[in-house]
């Protein structure tokens, strides 16, 4: 039998999706599952986006430009200007989701064997993107005791080698919900400039900042023109995960020219989804104001309920819609599977994402889970009630 590639064998399973077969089996057994495992918002997508597709007058569904349609990129640039991020349409390449933007970024700035430093825990698919690109992730550990704040400069500098090409952050963070301050962004800018590295910022949760805090983008720093790369997406901002539209943004012309070659190789991003995404940019601020109030209430409900459970430790998210919870269990993978296979409370159970998959350091996150608060408050309260009962019953 022909052999599978080493790269293929090394591709990690998604900690978010690998439990799906157990969830499907649980549903067949008529268990109701509260899905805390995946960041699929239940907020309705903007009506304007849906109408743009329904009212289209396209007769031939043709390729778009490899970098995305000009009208869409111009409107994205206008959006960034409103957010104090001074970029032009030519600084933007539209991608098939933020995922493709990350792949383009890694392919454009890294060769096989090069290294990218990432504060962990981090978005689990960074492991997969790095493996697919032949890139080595070098983790710098942030701790739940510090609410996952940026580690000291010294922790980064001791990890920099001749193979280091970039520092990658997610801001606000998935899975922690941590929102980097302006001071922390300036600290990272100083590090990358001193060591001639790129700073890649996954900013797909930009709008989701709580407690009166504001997101500060890496490209609000004038010094980052040659060093900064933004990864962005409509998925979470407009509750349009299925559109699969994102973008790569950089003032560095060599980065854009190189990423464009990757974009040309895959031809073009999807046309209908660009129509919807372009229309979504007309979404009024009132939409986001309501969303922020809703997610703040959900966050407060979830965190306060989790803190009532003996032995549970939880970080306080300042953005996005995730938190990391540390549980009194030895192995959260086994616990998450057990919840679906062997536990129910009055016919109901929960699905969580084991946090070990959000680390690259061996042994880290084994007693942690990521929880997405994308359910209504009543459902979150019930889910935590189920979690409490499960921890009491779990034969750890």
Per-residue pLDDT of 179-229, as tens digits, reads 999 999 999 999 999 999 999 999 999 999 999 999 999 999 999 999 999
Q: What is the pLDDT of residues 67-114, one digit of tens each?
A: 999 999 999 999 999 999 999 999 999 999 999 999 999 999 999 999
- What pLDDT is attached to residue 205? 97
Whether residue 145 is predicted with pLDDT greater than 90 in this model: the reply is yes
pLDDT above 80 (res 292)? yes
Based on the domain organization, do 228 and 252 belong to the same domain? yes
CATH assignment of the domain containing 360: 3.90.1150.10
Taking alpha carbons only, the member of 92, 101, 120 closest to residue 200 is: 101
- Is the pTM higher than 0.75? The answer reads yes
Whether 61 shows a pLDDT value over 80: the answer reads yes
Is the model's pLDDT at 275 over the cut of 80? yes
pLDDT tops 80 at residue 15: no
CA 250 to chain CA centroid, Å, is 19
Instruction: Supply the CATH number for residue 54's domain.
Output: 3.40.640.10
pLDDT of residue 41: 87
CA distance 95 to 247: 5
Residue 1: inside a domain = no
CA-to-CA separations, 209 to 144, 202, 358, 378, 389, in angstroms, rounded: 19, 15, 22, 22, 32
Mean pLDDT value across residues 280-295: 94
Give pLDDT, residue 159.
97
CB 70 within 8 A of CB 274: no
Position 18 scores a pLDDT of 83
Specify the residue for token string 């549903």.
27
83 and 200 assigned to the same domain:
yes
Q: What pLDDT sits at residue 396?
A: 76
324 and 182 both lie in a single domain: no
Nearest 5°: phi and psi at 383? Answer: -60, -40
Domain of residue 25: give its range: 6-44+286-393
Looking at the DSSP bridge assignments, the partners of residue 319 are: 209
Of the two residues 121 and 396, the one the predictor is more confident about is 121
Report pLDDT for 42: 87
Distance CA 182, CA 213 (A): 10
Q: Judge if 151 and 212 occupy the same domain.
A: yes
Do 79 and 122 belong to one domain? yes
Q: How far is CA 194 from CA 32, 251, 255, 258, in A?
A: 53, 19, 19, 24
Residues 38 and 79 in one domain: no
Q: How much of the chain, in percent, has pLDDT values that exceed 90?
A: 95
State which of 227, 259, 280 marks the end of a domain.
Answer: 280
Residues 328-382: tens digit of each pLDDT: 999 999 999 999 999 999 999 999 999 999 999 989 999 999 999 999 999 999 9
Q: Tell me what pLDDT residue 43 has.
A: 87
Taking each helix axis from N to C end, the angle separating 332-341 and 20-28, rounded to the nearest 10 degrees, works out to 20
Nearest-5° angle of CA 59, CA 62, CA 64? 130
């Amino acid at each position: 039998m022909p052999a599978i590639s080493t790269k293929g064998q090394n591709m990690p399973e998604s900690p978010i999706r690998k439990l799906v077969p157990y969830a499907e089996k649980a549903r067949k057994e008529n268990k109701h599952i509260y899905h805390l495992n995946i960041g699929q918002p239940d907020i309705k997508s903007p009506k304007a986006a849906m109408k743009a597709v329904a009212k289209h007058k396209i007769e031939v569904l043709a390729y778009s430009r490899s970098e995305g349609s000009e009208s869409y990129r111009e409107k994205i640039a206008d959006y960034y200007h409103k957010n104090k991020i001074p970029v032009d349409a030519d600084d933007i390449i539209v991608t098939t989701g933020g995922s493709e933007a990350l792949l383009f970024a890694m392919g454009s700035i890294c060769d096989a064997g090069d290294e990218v430093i990432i504060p962990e825990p981090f978005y689990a698919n960074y492991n997969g993107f790095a493996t697919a690109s032949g890139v080595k992730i070098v983790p710098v550990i942030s701790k739940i005791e510090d609410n996952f704040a940026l580690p000291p400069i010294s922790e980064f500098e001791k990890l920099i080698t001749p193979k280091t090409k970039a520092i990658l952050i997610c801001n606000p963070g998935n899975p922690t919900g941590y929102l980097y301050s302006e001071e922390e962004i300036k600290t990272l800018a100083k590090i990358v400039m001193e060591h001639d590295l790129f700073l890649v910022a996954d900013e797909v949760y930009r709008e989701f900042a709580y407690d009166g805090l504001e997101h500060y983008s890496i490209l609000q720093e004038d010094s980052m023109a040659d060093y900064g790369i933004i990864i962005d997406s409509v998925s979470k901002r407009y509750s349009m995960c299925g559109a699969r539209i994102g973008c790569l943004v950089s003032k560095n012309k060599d980065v854009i020219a190189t990423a464009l070659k990757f974009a040309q190789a895959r031809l073009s991003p999807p046309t209908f989804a660009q129509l919807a995404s372009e229309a979504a940019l007309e979404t009024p601020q009132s939409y986001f104001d309501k969303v922020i109030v809703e997610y703040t209430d959900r966050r407060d409900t979830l965190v306060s309920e989790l803190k009532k459970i003996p032995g549970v430790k939880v970080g306080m998210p300042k953005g996005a819609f995730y938190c990391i919870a540390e549980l009194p269990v030895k192995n959260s993978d086994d616990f998450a599977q057990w919840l679906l296979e062997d536990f129910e409370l009055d016919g109901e159970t929960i699905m969580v994402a084991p946090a070990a998959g959000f680390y690259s350091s061996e042994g880290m996150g084994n007693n942690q889970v990521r929880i997405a608060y994308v359910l209504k408050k009543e459902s979150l309260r019930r889910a935590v009630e189920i979690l409490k009962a499960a921890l009491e019953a779990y034969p750890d």
